[in-house]
Amino acid sequence: MSHLIAPSLLASDFANLQKECEMLNNSEADWYHLDVMDGVFVPNISFGIPVIEFINKHTLKPLDVHLMIVQPERYITHFKNVGANILTVHIEASTHLHRTLQAIKQEGMKAGVALNPHTNVEQLEPTLEEIDLVCLMSVNPGFGGQAFIEGTYRKVEKLKSMISKAGLETKIEIDGGVTSANAKQLVDAGADVLVAGSFVFKAENPSKTIADLKNI
């Protein structure tokens, strides 16, 4: 299967959010990537449940919600109710990860786990069978527009090997600093989903940029 593109609306024009949603609907984007930040787990505050509810009214594509928050287990039902299709929590913020993943699945969503750049993929081994999506942060989370961390390729290869050996179909998502310069190498290493924020929304022609990433 071809890799998926999930533009991150954190980099979009919030004053014209409906137009941005319509642009994505008419593009080759596969998912909407929505970064929820609480100012505690990461040093930034983005948007939350009301904004996602609004976005859901204007999208024709799955909502890929990435929770960069403490105690994510408290909000699982809330995000389901506003339209999340995939809900990703950080391993570093989840004291009882297995329980949280089960709760996400019980709500009918796909369950994702995100890893900060310093976190080893081996930490996923005990729960890998419960995980639909692993989001590897390729920048330090909190802000858009950061430079890609080159060590990400090795993490992708190692994780892909773990998934293959376990006979699973867990998807690998890359979040941070994705551009046309590294997209092909990421997919070749084993990435299934590419999140792109600034590279898409700051482009002169965002739809063409999405198409270029899709057709590398």
Q: Are 64 and 88 in contact (CB under 8 A)?
A: yes
Residues paired with residue 8 on neighbouring β-strands, in sequence order: 33
Residue 44 burial (10 A CB sphere; 0-12, 13-18, 19+): middle
CA dihedral (8, 10, 13, 17) positive or negative = positive
CB neighbours of residue 55 within 10 Å: 23
DSSP state of 8: B
Instruction: Give the residue numbers marked as catalytic.
Output: 35, 175
Dist. CA 61–CA 23, nearest whole Å: 12
Q: Are 213 and 27 in contact (CB under 8 A)?
A: no
Strand intervals (E) in the chain: 4-7, 32-37, 63-68, 86-90, 110-115, 133-137, 171-175, 193-196
Residue 171 to residues 27, 168, 204, Cα–Cα distance (Å): 22, 9, 30
Q: Are 163 and 129 in contact (CB under 8 A)?
A: no
